[in-house]
Amino acid sequence: MTVTIARTLDDACAALADRPDAVVLAGGTDLMVEVNRGLRRMDDVVALDRVAELRGWDRDGDELRLGAATTCAELAGDELAPLVPALAQAARTVGSPQIRNAATIGGNLATASPAGDTLPVLAALDAVVEVRSVHGTRDVPIDGFVTGVKSNALAPGELIAAVRVPILDGPQEFLKVGTRNAMVISVASLALVVDRAGRNVRVALGSVAPVPVRAVEAEVLASDRIDWDAGAAPGPVVVDRFAGLVADAARPIDDHRGTAAYRRHAVEVLARRALRRAFTAGSGVAA
Amino acid sequence: MEVSVTVNGTVRSADVEPRTLLAHFLRDDLGLTGTNIGCDTSSCGACTVLVDGRSAKSCTLLAAQADGAEVTTIEGLAGEDGLHPMQQAFHECHALQCGYCTPGMVMAAVSLVDEYDDLDGDSVREGLEGNLCRCTGYQNIVKAVLAATE
Amino acid sequence: MTDTLDATSPFAGGIVGEARLRKEDPALLTGEAKFIDDLALPGSLWIACVRSPHAHARITSIDTSEALATEGVAAVYTGADLADAWAAPLPCAWPVTDDMKNPAHHPVAIDKANYAGDIVAVVVAESRYAAADGIEGVVVDYEPLDAVVDLADAESDRVVIHEDCGTNVSYDWALVPDPDAVDAAFADAVHHVTETYVHQRLIPAPMEPRGVAAVPSPHNGDMTLYSSTQIPHILKVMASLTLGLPEQKVRVIAPSVGGGFGCKLNVYAEEIICMALAGRHGVPVRWTETRTEAAGSTIQGRAQRQTIELAADADGRLTAVRATLLADMGAYLQLVTPGVPLLGAFLYHGLYDVPAYAFTCRSVFTNMTPTDAYRGAGRPEATYAIERAMDALAVAVGVGPDEIRSRNYIPTEKFPYDSPAGLIFDSGNYQPTLDRAKELVDWDGRRAEQADRRAAGSTKQLGVGISSYVEMCGLAPSRTLAALNYGAGGWESATVRILPTCKVQVVTGSTPHGQGHETCWSMIVADQLGVDPDDVEVLHSDTAISPLGMDTYGSRSLAVGGTALWMATEKVVDKARTIAAHMLEAAAEDLEFAGGVFSVKGSPDKEVPLAGVAFGAFTAHDLPDDVEPNLEAQVTFDPGNFVFPFGTHIAVVEVDEETGAVDLLDYAAVDDCGNQINPLIVQGQLHGGIVQGVAQALWEDAVYDADGQLRAANLADYLVPSAAECIDMKLDHTVTPSNSNPMGVKGIGEAGTIASTPAVMNAVVDALRPHGITDITMPASPMTVRRAIEVAGGGAS
């Protein structure tokens, strides 16, 4: 086994070009667990945690570029939380303080677990993933990045350099149901973002399909029925129909953490709560 | 490979297998056995140490990743004047029984108190969610952490 | 005198009864304490175990060649290779019936694996990493067989796991003192409640995984076993028998032990394997369990199905209780596996005055990890059954859950109480614990709030649940154990030694692993001798230092080991009195001993401090005739009866009917363990115990799939609660001394776990009763609760 501690992005790309089968190690919160449990052997490792270029974030107008090594603790922190509140809420539900100090947004994307907490938020935000290799940089839209359960669009030799998300004017919610309060792997999650300028509502679901799914019909209904000028909460009939359409978008399976039926039910409950909260006085679009 | 880490203020180096975890480096190579290992899924927090001032689970970090870093372990807390205030608070509040989770719990608590200055019972509970204790039911741990902030 | 001691207590020195901080803490707080994996043993070999991935499979071949070629691997052993290393199979010390089926359980399986985790080969290597590499090179061919994971399926013998037993039924056991009386009571009953409950499997999960290090002395034949165990003394006997080693050459040491909760009350394959291989290789041989490995290497708990029937008159007064169990032994019988149901067998009538009683139990083998004692062992199951059923009876009678209990509590004037199961309950006064617990949770206020929420149709409903309990602990009178076919006694030993400088050494046969024995034992002795508790050193957990002992489990340490200690101290004081009388030229009966000084009654100037006596006993220059030098006494105490702590716990929960999530809002516990040596320790035991019981109700579930694979094998999936799910509990106590021992004490280590599970489940069911829900399968996870609401046709989403 070899471990390469990359110091620059070029170093990292070069090391990966050299050893295309190498495991890319960032925060290690998923990977090292698999290694410790003997589920995965690491032959060659390229560690990214010392690559300064992957850390930090930049704001360019209404766009936020998050370095791949931005940690969940940073996402949840005071600087980023006001810009992408749903991402902050999702990051706060990841693991525990120690995990949030280590876990990165790039790692969450690369692991591509159906239960990855930031993924539905990134899907709702139509995030763009910046992928880098010795051959250059390419952009991959989020809906093409996660390709299946724990699989992604990275080609050998590629790594995630950054994620770009829009800074929207409007409330955002991330809600999650687990098997208990803390440190829990989600059984179902939902991200809802409101784009007041674009007059639309976007909803994505986690843990109810192999990849994060958008509830497009529900989005159309909500965007259509919200009184954007008044910023008022939609009536109970609309909320119920919205929640029903969200549940229809889920394609859950049974596993040891939850049944498909419960997951579908849970996203329906979460959808109702998220829409109500987003348009409750004080956090409404008009606010 | 050669790994050099500043542990509790002293530079410590060792030649380790690349796959060596930081927890094993501390325990097996440096003889600092206060940092315990309680699981293999980074769930229990018994192995919590401070890496560059922030709490980290040393069972999910390679020693190689800590090369050049500053690490504080439970052995680095008590000074010449005796126990660190957090250790003292744990003692006075009966916040430990078997003591196996205690080093990690104390390190997590130190990091928590360091990071936030307006902690209450609920925020302490949330802040310690990554550290499992099977003996105390957490009541006296929460009490101790709050006592240490006073 | 504090309110933790009754006026009749023998303590008055101002030490016992105080919330004294623990002397164990500094070593544990600083990382100085040495747990098993912290021991430095140069030159050690490490083992790694190849475990069957199949729950049930024939081993058709094992190829070890690749493993042997792995760097650092010293040897690989299969079950056949080691068949001659064992003088006997792994021990089961509790053959509860004469015809109990007990299949041979070899440390390394030979022909067949009977659960996922059964060891099929052992790799010995120079490091733990090399040993882990080595197991990847062991190629085992299996012929998978159908797995038995359901208890009814096991009972049917569709697949017989142990062919030589001919059946999956290990034993049938009954306790029915008067069958006719039970039948008559049910025939005459106005109310007949029948309830069925399931106790899921639980993983004890002490924070320290198990570990073993066997250190041989090849030339003189000594063998020292370090193990993270609760029972070094029992282990020494059992390991000697299992390996055919001369017991006098075997020493067992439990270093700092990071919790046990019953799962370290055992004799495990890895302990025996390390000893055998240390003997073979002539160097220390070690093993440290990983958490995921523990799913198959360490026993699990509970795993029972219960039917309980109550017969009651028109007022709801109980006339009979009949309980029937089907208990899951797992794949093999470990040390006390078959006895666990028996530890509950006497308590299915709870703390209620019931004239007629029947208990029967059938135990079956399955293809899952063996079960054995887990905190409470049998008593949580019994308490759960009666306390859930009492709520059902309250509904049937039309009275509140508090009232149904008050009507049935054993009246205080009946103590000592001859129980219908044949025990004698030492002391009790139950009603005050209920009254106080109700005050602590504002019972009336919560009931009003519940009514308001129901009336408002809130999606968040409130539930309030009571659990009153009595448990039998302080295991145990040896004669009672004999009647139950247990293979050992229930005594405990203590030695008290006053050193020449008047410092004190105490040697105890109890084996602490977090309970604070050093602190409490010091307090007792200090109080009796009039010395500073810091001048008392407590030695334990090493069979060379403490050769006699029966160790720590079943809330026995204080009531049995503490009593031995108290008696040994009294004995030392008696001897010191004889010497002091000689020194003061007075009659021994004319001396009083207080504050560490002997003085002659009526002549206060004639006195000698204990220090003077101790030094005199050491120099032995002028001792009375027939008095041996030194101040030391040893006592082995065999209790005449169990002790019966009791109390009432009340849980308040909120159920989110939409998601099914249950939140614990409030929890009150009023417990009575007689005189309290150190209330700080008592409270700590209760806090932890309560949370462990709440965890059974709400979170923990060692669930297996149909193929016998554990679906919650690690701490990510097996939900040991964190601080974030738990709340501050409100504790209070009453003090009703036991008459089973001179200190008037009762055990408290398991009480919290015994009481809390039914309190929480009664609260959850109480919240959901408007839906017609009468039971929720544990754990009451969001999904389970939600499904129950849907099945009941309520709670439109």
Q: Which residues pair with C157 in a beta bridge?
A: none
Q: Establish if C692 belongs to a structural domain.
A: yes
Please list every residue in chain A whose beta carbon sits closer than 8 Å to the beta carbon of residue B55: 97-98, 101
Q: Are residues C607 and C626 in the same domain?
A: yes
| pLDDT per position as a tens digit, A83-104 | 999 999 999 998 899 999 999 9
**What confidence score (pLDDT) does residue A68 get?**
97
To the nearest 10°, the Cα dihedral for A137, A140, A142, A144? -150
DSSP state of C99: T
**What confidence score (pLDDT) does residue C638 get?**
97
Q: Establish if C169 belongs to a structural domain.
A: no
pLDDT band at A178 (very low <50, low <70, confident <90, very high): confident
Average pLDDT over residues A17-44: 86
Q: Are residues C445 and C462 in the same domain?
A: yes
Question: Which three-class secondary structure string do you get for C65-85?
Answer: HHHHCCCCEEEEEECCCCHHH
**What confidence score (pLDDT) does residue A283 get?**
44
Query: What is the span of the domain harbouring residue C78?
Result: 36-145+209-257+264-297
Phi-psi region of C119 (alpha: psi -120 to 50; beta: other; left: phi over 0): beta
Contact flag C207-B126 (C-beta cutoff 8 Å): no
Q: Could you tell me if A112 and A146 are in contact, meaning their C-beta atoms sit under 8 angstroms apart?
A: yes
Closest CA to A34 of A97, A119, A138, A107: A107
pLDDT band at A41 (very low <50, low <70, confident <90, very high): confident
Q: Give the Å distances, CA to CA, from C501 to A195, C15, C498, C615, C619.
A: 81, 21, 8, 7, 11
Average pLDDT over residues C519-534: 97
Contact flag A256-C661 (C-beta cutoff 8 Å): no
> Which of A177, A256, A268 is nearest residue C782 as measured by Cβ atoms?
A177
Largest CA distance in chain C: 89
Measure the CA–CA gap between C658 and C797, rounded to whole angstroms.
6
Please list every residue in chain C whose beta carbon sits closer than 8 Å to the beta carbon of residue B135: 207, 259, 514, 684, 688
Q: Does A229 touch chain C (CB under 8 A)?
A: no
Q: Are residues C95 and C45 in the same domain?
A: yes
Contact flag B108-A5 (C-beta cutoff 8 Å): no
Strands of the sheet with A2-5, listed across from one edge? A2-5, A44-47, A23-25
Q: Are residues C223 and C350 in the same domain?
A: no
For the cut 90, the answer to whether the pLDDT of residue A184 exceeds it is: no
**What confidence score (pLDDT) does residue B120 get?**
97
pTM greater than 0.90: yes
Interface mutation vs chain A, best among C703, C714, C783, most A CBs within 10 Å: C783
Interface mutation vs chain C, best among A35, A180, A239, A242, most C CBs within 10 Å: A180
As a whole number, the mean pLDDT across chain C is 97
Contact flag B99-C34 (C-beta cutoff 8 Å): no
Q: Give how far C231 is from chain A: nearest CA, Å.
A: 29
For the cut 60, the answer to whether the pLDDT of residue C462 exceeds it is: yes
For chains A and C, CB pairs below 8 A equal 57
- DSSP H/E element including C589: none
> Which of A38, A183, A269 is nearest residue C659 as measured by Cβ atoms?
A269
Please list every residue in chain C whose beta carbon sits closer than 8 Å to the beta carbon of residue A185: 716-717
Please list every residue in chain B whose beta carbon sits closer than 8 Å to the beta carbon of residue C683: 94, 140
The token pair at C59 is 């081993």
Contact flag B40-A37 (C-beta cutoff 8 Å): yes
Q: Give how far B45 is from chain C: nearest CA, Å.
A: 10
For the cut 60, the answer to whether the pLDDT of residue A287 exceeds it is: no
**What confidence score (pLDDT) does residue A42 get?**
80
Share of chain C above pLDDT 90, in %: 98
Q: Could you tell me if B35 and B45 are in contact, meaning their C-beta atoms sit under 8 angstroms apart?
A: no
DSSP state of C149: -
For the cut 70, the answer to whether the pLDDT of residue B101 exceeds it is: yes
> How big, in percent rounded to 5, are the helix, strand and coil portions of chain C?
30, 25, 40
Measure the CA–CA gap between C797 and C784, rounded to whole angstroms.
15
Q: Are residues C570 and C551 in the same domain?
A: yes
Q: Are residues C678 and C721 in the same domain?
A: yes
Check which CATH number belongs to the domain holding C87 and give it: 3.90.1170.50
Going by C-beta distance under 8 Å and a sequence separation of 6 or more, which residues neighbour residue C355? C181, C185, C319, C320, C420
R_g of chain B, CA atoms, integer Å: 15
The token pair at C728 is 């501050």
Contact flag A97-B111 (C-beta cutoff 8 Å): yes
Contact flag A266-C659 (C-beta cutoff 8 Å): yes
Q: Are residues C103 and C230 in the same domain?
A: yes
| Number of domains, chain C | 3
Please list every residue in chain C whose beta carbon sits closer than 8 Å to the beta carbon of residue B121: 728
Q: Are residues C615 and C684 in the same domain?
A: no
Q: Are residues C660 and C731 in the same domain?
A: yes
Contact flag A180-C725 (C-beta cutoff 8 Å): yes
Contact flag A33-B40 (C-beta cutoff 8 Å): yes
| pLDDT per position as a tens digit, C245-299 | 999 999 999 999 999 999 999 999 999 999 999 999 999 999 999 999 999 999 9
Contact flag C699-A180 (C-beta cutoff 8 Å): yes
Q: Could you tell me if A26 and A48 are in contact, meaning their C-beta atoms sit under 8 angstroms apart?
A: yes
Please list every residue in chain C whose beta carbon sits closer than 8 Å to the beta carbon of residue B19: 129
pLDDT band at A37 (very low <50, low <70, confident <90, very high): confident
Measure the CA–CA gap between A94 and A100, rounded to whole angstroms.
6
CA angle, residues C446, C449, C453, in degrees to nearest 5: 140
Task: Name all chains with 3 or more CB-CB pairs below 8 Å to chain C.
Answer: A, B
Q: Establish if C181 belongs to a structural domain.
A: no
pLDDT band at A161 (very low <50, low <70, confident <90, very high): very high
> Which of B40, B94, B106 is nearest residue C680 as measured by Cβ atoms?
B94
**What confidence score (pLDDT) does residue A269 get?**
96
Q: Does A39 touch chain C (CB under 8 A)?
A: no
Contact flag A180-C786 (C-beta cutoff 8 Å): no
For the cut 70, the answer to whether the pLDDT of residue C795 exceeds it is: no
CA angle, residues A188, A189, A191, in degrees to nearest 5: 160
CA angle, residues C547, C550, C555, in degrees to nearest 5: 140
Q: Are residues C88 and C233 in the same domain?
A: yes
Q: Establish if C782 belongs to a structural domain.
A: yes
Domain boundary, last residue among C297, C321, C347? C297
| pLDDT per position as a tens digit, C629-645 | 999 999 999 999 999 99
Interface mutation vs chain C, best among B21, B35, B94, most C CBs within 10 Å: B94
Q: Give how far A24 is from chain B: nearest CA, Å.
A: 13
> How big, in percent rounded to 5, are the helix, strand and coil portions of chain B?
35, 20, 45
Q: Does A178 touch chain B (CB under 8 A)?
A: no
Contact flag A25-B64 (C-beta cutoff 8 Å): no
Measure the CA–CA gap between C274 and A143, rounded to whole angstroms.
54
Measure the CA–CA gap between C112 and C104, rounded to whole angstroms.
12
Q: Establish if C286 belongs to a structural domain.
A: yes
For the cut 60, the answer to whether the pLDDT of residue C394 exceeds it is: yes
Q: Give how far C307 is from chain A: nearest CA, Å.
A: 27
What is the length of chain B?
A: 150
Q: Does A182 touch chain C (CB under 8 A)?
A: yes
Measure the CA–CA gap between C505 and C674, rounded to whole angstroms.
27
Domain boundary, last residue among C604, C622, C637? C637
Q: Are residues C525 and C572 in the same domain?
A: yes
Domain boundary, last residue among C637, C669, C686? C637
Closest CA in chain B for residue C518: B97
Average pLDDT over residues B123-148: 97
Q: Are residues C312 and C424 in the same domain?
A: yes
> Which of A35, A37, A97 is nearest residue B130 as measured by Cβ atoms?
A97
Q: Could you tell me if C133 and C72 are in contact, meaning their C-beta atoms sit under 8 angstroms apart?
A: yes
Closest CA to C473 of C385, C346, C386, C566: C346
Check which CATH number belongs to the domain holding C556 and give it: 3.30.365.10
Contact flag C698-A268 (C-beta cutoff 8 Å): no
For the cut 90, the answer to whether the pLDDT of residue A43 exceeds it is: no
Domains of chain A: 2-166 (3.30.465.10), 172-278 (3.30.390.50)
| pLDDT per position as a tens digit, C730-759 | 999 999 999 999 999 999 999 999 999 999
pLDDT band at A181 (very low <50, low <70, confident <90, very high): low
Phi-psi region of A173 (alpha: psi -120 to 50; beta: other; left: phi over 0): beta
To the nearest 10°, the Cα dihedral for C537, C539, C540, C546? -150
As a whole number, the mean pLDDT across chain B is 96
| pLDDT per position as a tens digit, B18-33 | 989 999 999 999 999 9
Q: Establish if C585 belongs to a structural domain.
A: yes
Please list every residue in chain C whose beta carbon sits closer than 8 Å to the beta carbon of residue A262: 660, 782-783, 786-787
Strand ranges in B28-98 using DSSP code E only, listed in sequence order = 48-51, 54-57, 70-72
Q: Establish if C721 belongs to a structural domain.
A: yes
The pairing of strands C662-672 and C646-656 is antiparallel
Instruction: Return the half-sphere exposure (C-beta side, CA atoms, 13 A cut-off) of residue A221.
Output: 19
Q: Establish if C627 belongs to a structural domain.
A: yes
Mean pLDDT lowest among A18-22, C549-553, C760-764: A18-22
Contact flag C31-B43 (C-beta cutoff 8 Å): no
**What confidence score (pLDDT) does residue C796 get?**
45
Domains of chain B: 2-76 (3.10.20.30), 85-149 (1.10.150.120)
For the cut 90, the answer to whether the pLDDT of residue C334 exceeds it is: yes
